[in-house]
Amino acid sequence: MKIRNIILVTLASTFALTSCNDWLDVMPDNRAEVDTQEKAEKLLVSAYPENAYITMAEMSSDNVDHFGSSPYSKRFMLQLYNWEEVTETDNEDPKQVWGALYSAITNANQTLVAIEEMGNTPELQPAKGEALLCRAYSHFLLVNLFSNAYNPATASEDLGIPYMDAPETELNPKYERGTVAEVYEKIEKDLEEGLPLIDDGMYSVPKYHFNEKAAYTFASRFYLFYGKWDKVIECANYVLGSSPAEYLRNYTELNALPTSPADVRGNAYNSTNAKNNFLVQTAYSTLGVNFGPYSYEGLISIGSVLCKTELLNYAPWGTKPASGTTFRNMYKYSLGIYDATGFQKYLWIKHPYLFEYIDPVAGIGYNRTIYTAFTGDEALLNRAEAYVMKEDYTSALADLNLWTTNALVASQCSPVLTLDSVKEWANGMEYYKWDVPTPKKKINNPFVTVQEGSDLEAMLQATLYIRRVEFLHYGMRFFDIKRHGIKIYRRQVGTALEINKVLDSLEVNDPRRALQLPKDVITAGMTPNPR
């Protein structure tokens, strides 16, 4: 597992855009010499980001509400929730995430240079493949956080992020953001070169690295965001093979674990022994607290209003339950509720809250967590959405029903979906309003025209609903909102858990969909996102 104090090879000086805090710069004279295969492989340990993007993305999505009265929240969380420029500092703020992603890219690039200097020999190819995948992945996260979603009509004009494909050899170079189209083209190039080189045999614990299944699941996500449906299906097929159910999460086993302490389930959810987990990562993060049974971060959270009206309750696999809590029984993995004064958290335990002591006597250290970057469940849902976009509803339903039968309790609902049942569900409810919420939000997809009342709309609504449930507390909903041009609101929920008022809305073409670059980066001369 990647822990800061056991990294054996690092670059002593990493990114900067200013003289003392350069974020996109590497001082060439201060690097460790990487001249053996072993050193190259050790350097790759640092080619994964040490700060997670998940909190940023989840707080920017419609998976949270403002509870109004809770005192428990960091200011940067509120800034993210309000789609403001983040000025507060934290391990999970845009500055730290930006820096962590570019630091990972630096180490990937240094590995690639070292491999070339060592002759690019056959035994070095697996490390080269991993380095290319790491570089592509960090750039992918950067462009999808800090730029607009890929839109074929505007991608050649939309501001991208600097694509770093080589270590720096000079101090304080100037960087251009390029375009989203250019970034995607470079990611695809790295993927196409890197995928055939991945070899699981080089790792003692493959799930801490871009093994084959993790790499091809990432590729399926990339091509889904890129609008290349056949490539999504091809990559997902490679991952899932002829028995995709084998690579779905075992909720029955997970649910049999004790609920206290919460870390028991959090650790199990991200276990390398779980067949569905492909790439397990550690991070400096309070995810386990933010989305765990603690009063901490209670001001901005997911509560009963969200769950009972649009997120878990009014589902395509059954009618709205008569009881407000009945819906909790529909899921094999039991949903938890944390009650506190003025707010209420609904949650699935997906992240452990861990603490890394650097001084046990003084009680000083780092908040940490574990998360799974890629899973078999995602590969399945990526493929299902690609089938929907191709209007192959038979294949899409087969995949969606694999997910529903795996995740739902058959005695509590109707987990097997048909085109007719999906249409009945989607067409039987009004579009979402902030004060009368439903799961149905208008879709403005840049690749296809989604007509109201069409089979395509119904199937997309169901697919996005399932993705929202599967990726709850994982930040993927924000990317889906951006990709599909979904308008969302900011609401304040009262102490009686009623909707009090709307605070703001994120329109379809709102520039705030692209998170603002860190202030230090802008100050150093990087073009900011428009506001």
Query: Which residues have C-beta within 8 Å of that of residue 504, sequence separation ≥ 6?
Result: 82, 83, 489, 490
Q: Is 475 inside a domain boundary?
A: yes
pLDDT at 529 over 70: yes
Range of the domain at 299: 47-92+199-523
pLDDT at 27: 39
Name the amino acid, one letter, at 300. I
Name the amino acid, one letter, at 34. V
pLDDT at 151 over 90: yes
C-alpha distances (whole Å) from 292 to each of 302, 337, 506 are 11, 9, 27
Q: What residue has token string 């949903």? A: 335
pLDDT at 261: 92
Q: Is 482 inside a domain boundary?
A: yes
Average pLDDT, the chain: 90
Q: Is 169 inside a domain boundary?
A: no
Name the amino acid, one letter, at 200. D
Query: Using alpha carbons only, what angle is made at residue 286 by residues 281 and 289, rounded to the nearest 5 degrees?
Result: 115
Comparing 220-234, 309-323, 476-490, the range with the smallest average pLDDT is 309-323
pLDDT at 31: 53
Query: How many structural domains compose the chain?
Result: 1
Q: Identify the three-state secondary structure at position 304.
A: helix
pLDDT at 339 over 90: no
Q: Is 395 inside a domain boundary?
A: yes
Query: Which residues have C-beta within 8 Å of that of residue 184, sequence separation ≥ 6?
Result: 143, 150, 155, 226
**Better-predicted residue by pLDDT, 291 or 320:** 291
* DSSP H/E element including 376: helix 376-389
Q: Is 162 inside a domain boundary?
A: no
* DSSP H/E element including 505: strand 499-506
C-alpha distances (whole Å) from 371 to each of 284, 418, 473 are 11, 33, 10
Please list the alpha-helical segments (H only) found in 44-154.
54-59, 75-81, 94-117, 125-146
Name the amino acid, one letter, at 62. D
Q: How many CB atoms lie within 10 A of CB 498?
A: 11
pLDDT tier at 297 (50, 70, 90 boundaries)? confident
Domain CATH for 460: 1.25.40
Comparing 32-41, 220-229, 377-386, 511-520, the range with the smallest average pLDDT is 32-41
Average of per-residue pLDDT across 153-167: 96
Long-range contacts of 201-208 (CB under 8 A, 24+ apart): 201/126, 202/41, 202/126, 202/127, 205/1, 205/272, 207/272, 207/277, 207/278, 207/279, 207/280, 208/1, 208/2, 208/272, 208/279, 208/280, 208/281
Q: Model pTM greater than 0.85?
A: yes
**Better-predicted residue by pLDDT, 31 or 307:** 307
pLDDT at 9: 30
Average of per-residue pLDDT across 126-131: 98
Query: Which residues have C-beta within 8 Å of that of residue 476, sequence separation ≥ 6?
Result: 57, 467
Q: Which of 514, 458, 512 lies closest to 490 in space, CA to CA?
A: 512
Predicted confidence (pLDDT) per residue in 372-410, tens digit: 999 999 999 999 999 999 999 999 999 999 999 999 999
pLDDT at 285: 94
pLDDT at 211: 98
Average of per-residue pLDDT across 145-158: 98
Comparing 110-119, 447-456, 466-475, 492-501, the range with the smallest average pLDDT is 492-501
Query: Which residues have C-beta within 8 Å of that of residue 492, sequence separation ≥ 6?
Result: 65, 66, 67, 68, 499, 500, 501, 502, 503
pLDDT at 340: 80
In what order do the strands lie in the sheet containing 499-506? 300-301, 65-66, 488-493, 499-506
What is the number of alpha carbons within 13 Å of residue 284 lying toward its C-beta?
A: 17
Average of per-residue pLDDT across 242-251: 98
pLDDT at 95 over 80: yes
Q: Is 292 inside a domain boundary?
A: yes
**H, E, C per residue of 175-240:** CCCCEHHHHHHHHHHHHHHHHHHCCHHHCCCHHHCCCHHHHHHHHHHHHHHHCCHHHHHHHHHHHH
Please list the alpha-helical segments (H only) found in 227-328.
229-240, 251-255, 262-269, 287-290, 304-306
pLDDT at 419 over 50: yes
Q: Which of 386, 409, 302 lies closest to 63 in space, CA to CA?
A: 302
Q: Is 139 inside a domain boundary?
A: no
Q: Is 191 inside a domain boundary?
A: no
pLDDT at 516: 98
pLDDT at 319: 59
Average of per-residue pLDDT across 486-514: 92
